[in-house]
Amino acid sequence: AQSVTQPDIHITVSEGASLELRCNYSYGATPYLFWYVQSPGQGLQLLLKYFSGDTLVQGIKGFEAEFKRSQSSFNLRKPSVHWSDAAEYFCAVAAGTNAGKSTFGDGTTLTVKP
């Protein structure tokens, strides 16, 4: 079975600083990987996803993520954080069985300092 680990429960960055959120997955084959963002009182919104091909994936809101098979990682990055990026971020993995069963990490809460 697949699993996801987000090592950082909470991260604080200053507005304008760069951001990297870590995600490590466990799965035997090539996984399908996702990053979602959840603002307070809202549902989850997909930022980006990776299935195959170019290992650097561009998403919405200026986010990108890089799939590194050798490190079993799919870290999310943004070069310059805005105050509106403060939210909770979830990494998820799916096995590609088309059963609709994505496994989510525990999430990382991002605080942005002015």
Residues that bind other proteins (CB under 8 A): 4, 32, 36, 41-46, 49, 51, 90, 92, 94-107
Question: Is residue 94 within 8 Å of residue 103, measured between CB atoms?
Answer: yes
In whole angstroms, how far apart are CA 57 and each of 10, 21, 63?
24, 14, 9
The residue among 72 and 104 lying less far from other proteins, judged by its C-beta, is: 104
Q: Rounded to the nearest whole angstrom, what is the least distance from the CB of residue 92 to other proteins in the complex?
A: 8
**Phi and psi angles of residue 60, each rounded to the nearest 5 degrees, phi first:** -85, 165
Task: From residue 51, give the alpha-carbon distance in Å to each of 6, 35, 93.
Answer: 19, 12, 10
Q: Which residue, 43 or 114, has its beta carbon nearer to other proteins?
A: 43
28 or 41: CB nearest other proteins: 41
